[in-house]
Structure 1
């Protein structure tokens, strides 16, 4: 389930419930989306690694800024995911 986290400068950040890898490590998929004419700019990443899974439309600098934002907010996102998220999206 996707959970709403925040919206800043027209960019919405959401996150999934906590998942587990095959070796039992926990992770959370995070998403940034910004509506643009004809579609969306988006970035998909994971916590805690902050590796980019998929991205389109955001510049490298924008991607870096979004991942920095995710890093600074990771503790809160983990807490919300452990509590069941906000269940909006």
Structure 2
């Protein structure tokens, strides 16, 4: 299941359920936007590391900006994810 976190300048950030790996809570994150040809650009990664494992359509500069956005929103993202987990 994916949860909506934000939509800024046509880029949507959604995230999955918290998972525990190596003693650290992680959240899978997904950035997506509609491309000019009607397809979708995406970047899939993990927080709190703020790194992307797969992407298509985003430039290296854009991926760097997405990583900074994710870093700036880590606290709120984790708070939201914990609330959703606890409500389940």
TM-score by length of 2: 0.88
| Aligned residue number for residue 39 of structure 1 | 39
CA deviations 1:51-87 (Å, max 9, x no partner) are 21111110000000011000000100000000007xx
Residue ranges of structure 1 left out of the alignment (5+ in a row): none
Within 5 Å, give how 1:1-89 maps onto structure 2.
1-21=1-21, 23-36=22-35, 37-84=37-84
SS at match of 1:12: strand
**Larger relative contact order, structure 1 or 2 (CA cutoff 8 Å, min sep 6):** 1
RMSD: 1.2
CA deviations 1:25-71 (Å, max 9, x no partner) are 21001110001224111111111111211111100000000110000
Count residues with an aligned counterpart.
84
CA deviations 1:5-26 (Å, max 9, x no partner) are 11111110101110122x3321
Residue ranges of structure 2 left out of the alignment (5+ in a row): none
TM-score by length of 1: 0.87
Moved over 6 A (4+): none
